Structure 1
Amino acid sequence: MSTDNSNKKLKKKRKFGAKSILSTFIVLFLLLGVTAGGIIFAVLKNTSPIDPSNIQNMLDDSSFIYDKDGNLIEKVHSDSFRSVVSIETMPKDLQNAFIAIEDERFYKHHGVDPKRIIGAVIYDLKTMSKAQGASTITQQLAKNIYLTHEKTYTRKIKDMYYALELERYLTKDQILEMYLNTIYLGRGATGAQAAAQTYFSKDVSELNVAECAIIAGITKNPSRYSPFTTEKIASGESLDNIQLIFYPNSTKAESIPAEESALFSQMLSKGLIDKFQYDQLNKGEIVVRKAVLNPSSVERQLTVLGKMLELGFISQEQYDEAKSYPIEIKIGSKSASGISSYFGDLVKKQVLQELITEKGFSEDEARDTLYKGGLRIYSTMDMNMQKIVEKEFENPANFPGSFKDSSGTVQPQASMVIMDPKNGEVRALVGGRMIGGTKIFNRAINPRQPGSAIKPLAAYLPALDKGMTAATIIDDSPHYDDKGNLWPRNYDRKYGGPSTMRALLTRSSNVGTVKLAEMLSTSKAQSVKTMISYLEKLGISTIVKSKDNPSINDENFSLSMGGMSKGVTNLELTAAYGAIANSGVHNEPIFFTRAETANGDVLLENKPKTRKVVSAQVAFILQDLMKSVVEDGTGSRAKIANMPVAGKTGTTSNNYDAWFVGYTPYYVGATWIGSDLPRELSTGSKMSAMLWSKIMSQVHSGLPAKQFDQPDGIIKVSICSVSGKLASSNCGGHVKSEVFASGTEPKSYCSLSHYVAPVEPVEEQPTDANGLSPNEAEWENQVEEWLDNGNTDNNSTTNNNGNGNGKGNNKPPQDNSAVPEGY
Structure 2
Amino acid sequence: MKKFLRYFFAFVLITAVVSLWAITEPFITMHGYGDMNIGVLTKNDNYTIVSKDYLFAGKSIDVTELNKNTVNAFLAAEDKRFYEHEGVDYARTVAAAVKDIKEKKFAQGGSTITQQLAKNMFLSSEKTLKRKIKEIRFAKAIERKLTKNQILTAYLNNLYFGNGIYGIQSAANSFFNKNASNLTTKESAILAATINNPTVFSPYKERNEVRVKTILKRMKDCGYISDIEYELSLSEKTTLMPENGESKYWKSALEEAKNILGVSMETLKTGGYKIVCNYDKNISIAAKNLLPKDTKTRILVLKNNNGQIIAYESNCDVGIYAKRSPASTIKPLVCYAPMLENEKILPCSPILDESVDFDGYAPKNYKGKYNGWVSCGFALKESLNVPAVKLLEEYGVEKGKAFLKRFGIETEKNEGLALALGGMKYGVEIPDLAAAYATFANDGMYTEAKIVSEIQKNGITVYKRYSTPTQIIKSTTAYYINEMLNDCASNGTAKSLLATKFNLAAKTGTAGTGEVNTDSYCVAYNTDYTVIVHAIDSAVSGGGLPTEIAKSLFMTDINSEKCFNIPDSIKKIYIDADEYYQNHRLVKSATTDKLKDKILVSASIDFPIEQKKTNLAEILSPYFDNFSRFYRFFY
TM-score class, shorter: 0.5 to 0.7
| 1:583–1:616 Cα contact (<8 Å) kept | yes
1:207 to partner: Cα distance:
8.4
Picking from 409, 418, 431, the partner of 1:571 is 431
* 1:714 aligned residue: 570
| 1:723–1:806 Cα contact (<8 Å) kept | no
| 1:531–1:560 Cα contact (<8 Å) kept | no
Structure 1 position 453 matched with structure 2 position 322: no
1:491 to partner: Cα distance:
5.2
| 1:660–1:689 Cα contact (<8 Å) kept | yes
Mapped to 1, the partners of 2:158 and 2:520 lie a distance apart of 49
Query: Alignment partner of 1:70: what SS?
Result: strand
Q: 1:631 to 1:745 in 2, by over 3 A?
A: farther
Superposition pairs for residues 720-739 of structure 1, below 5 Å?
734=595, 736-739=597-600
1:649 to partner: Cα distance:
1.8
* 2:399 aligned residue: 530
| 1:417–1:671 Cα contact (<8 Å) kept | yes
Picking from 392, 409, 427, the partner of 1:540 is 409
1:565 to partner: Cα distance:
3.5
Query: Alignment partner of 1:458: what SS?
Result: helix
1:380 to partner: Cα distance:
3.3
Alignment length (residue pairs): 525
Superposition pairs for residues 624-643 of structure 1, below 5 Å?
624-643=483-502
| 2:36–2:270 Cα contact (<8 Å) kept | yes
1:705 to partner: Cα distance:
3.0
| 2:521–2:541 Cα contact (<8 Å) kept | no
Larger Rg: 1
| 1:244–1:331 Cα contact (<8 Å) kept | no
* 1:427 aligned residue: 310
Query: Alignment partner of 1:384: what SS?
Result: helix
Counterpart AA for 1:644: N
Structure 1 position 596 matched with structure 2 position 465: no
Q: 1:201 to 1:805 in 2, by over 3 A?
A: closer
Q: 1:544 to 1:722 in 2, by over 3 A?
A: farther
Query: Alignment partner of 2:291: what SS?
Result: helix
Mapped to 1, the partners of 2:21 and 2:507 lie a distance apart of 74
1:627 to partner: Cα distance:
0.7
1:466 to partner: Cα distance:
0.5
Query: Alignment partner of 1:688: what SS?
Result: helix
Mapped to 1, the partners of 2:141 and 2:309 lie a distance apart of 49
Q: 1:648 to 1:373 in 2, by over 3 A?
A: same
1:645 to partner: Cα distance:
0.7
Alpha-carbon RMSD? 5.7
| 2:36–2:158 Cα contact (<8 Å) kept | no
For structure 1, the residue ranges without an aligned partner over 5 or more in a row are 1-42, 77-82, 99-116, 118-139, 167-173, 215-224, 231-241, 253-271, 304-325, 357-362, 396-409, 521-526, 547-553, 754-796, 813-823
Structure 1 position 343 matched with structure 2 position 249: yes
| 1:179-238 Cα distance to aligned partner (Å, 9 max, x none) | 67447799879xxx9556666889xx9888x99xx9xxxxxxxxxx998446xxxxxxxx
Picking from 24, 39, 46, the partner of 1:64 is 39
Structure 1 position 394 matched with structure 2 position 255: no
* 2:268 aligned residue: 370
| 1:587-610 Cα distance to aligned partner (Å, 9 max, x none) | 22212222333x433233234475
| 2:278–2:308 Cα contact (<8 Å) kept | yes
Mapped to 2, the partners of 1:687 and 1:302 lie a distance apart of 54
Q: 1:487 to 1:141 in 2, by over 3 A?
A: closer
Counterpart AA for 1:675: D
1:456 to partner: Cα distance:
0.9
Superposition pairs for residues 457-536 of structure 1, below 5 Å?
457-471=333-347, 473-478=349-354, 480-483=356-359, 489=365, 493-497=369-373, 499-520=374-395, 527-536=396-405
| 1:706-739 Cα distance to aligned partner (Å, 9 max, x none) | 22233443322224679989x99xxxx9562333
Q: 1:751 to 1:737 in 2, by over 3 A?
A: closer
* 1:73 aligned residue: 55
* 2:300 aligned residue: 417
Q: 1:751 to 1:353 in 2, by over 3 A?
A: closer
Identical pairs, percent: 16
Mapped to 2, the partners of 1:692 and 1:250 lie a distance apart of 31
Q: 1:600 to 1:742 in 2, by over 3 A?
A: same
| 1:584-634 Cα distance to aligned partner (Å, 9 max, x none) | 22222212222333x433233234475432122321221111111112322
Mapped to 1, the partners of 2:198 and 2:117 lie a distance apart of 31
| 1:584–1:618 Cα contact (<8 Å) kept | yes
1:464 to partner: Cα distance:
1.2
| 1:484-532 Cα distance to aligned partner (Å, 9 max, x none) | 88765575523332x4332332333333323333332xxxxxx111211
Picking from 661, 665, 672, the partner of 2:534 is 672
Q: TM-score, structure 2 length as denominator?
A: 0.65
Mapped to 1, the partners of 2:510 and 2:253 lie a distance apart of 30
Superposition pairs for residues 547-696 of structure 1, below 5 Å?
554-556=415-417, 558-597=418-457, 599-608=458-467, 610-652=469-511, 654-655=513-514, 656=517, 657-675=519-537, 681=539, 685-696=543-554
Superposition pairs for residues 171-250 of structure 1, below 5 Å?
181-182=153-154, 228-229=188-189, 248=197
1:355 to partner: Cα distance:
0.8
Mapped to 2, the partners of 1:476 and 1:722 lie a distance apart of 21
Mapped to 2, the partners of 1:196 and 1:482 lie a distance apart of 63
Q: 1:45 to 1:535 in 2, by over 3 A?
A: closer
Counterpart AA for 2:265: R
Q: 1:670 to 1:800 in 2, by over 3 A?
A: farther
1:454 to partner: Cα distance:
1.5
Structure 1 position 441 matched with structure 2 position 297: no
Q: 1:667 to 1:300 in 2, by over 3 A?
A: same
Query: Alignment partner of 1:658: what SS?
Result: strand
Superposition pairs for residues 272-311 of structure 1, below 5 Å?
281=205, 287-288=208-209
